[in-house]
Amino acid sequence: MNYPDGIRKWYDEFMKYPDGITKGYYENGNLKFEWNFKYGKLDGKSKWYDENGNLQLELNYKDGKLQEEL
């Protein structure tokens, strides 16, 4: 099972809902993805990058639901 790397903040210490930005990286150190969470759900822009650091996909979420591909 793969787990995301990077910084994660917790909104509620007892319920462990992630809040803030989670980032993952390739083995070469380049950014792989950047997700925004609010109250444990994807919220805002989520970005995916290739191994060279080029933006490949950008999605917009609100309250955990996909709104649109940007």
- Please report the pLDDT score of residue 27 as a whole number: 92
Residue 7 is predicted with a pLDDT of 56
Tens of pLDDT, residues 36-45: 999 889 999 9
The reported pTM is 0.69
Positions in the chain whose pLDDT score sits under 70: 1-17, 68-70
Query: CA gyration radius for the chain?
Result: 13
Q: How many CB atoms lie within 10 A of CB 42?
A: 20
pLDDT of residue 18: 72
Contact 39, 17 (CB under 8 A): yes
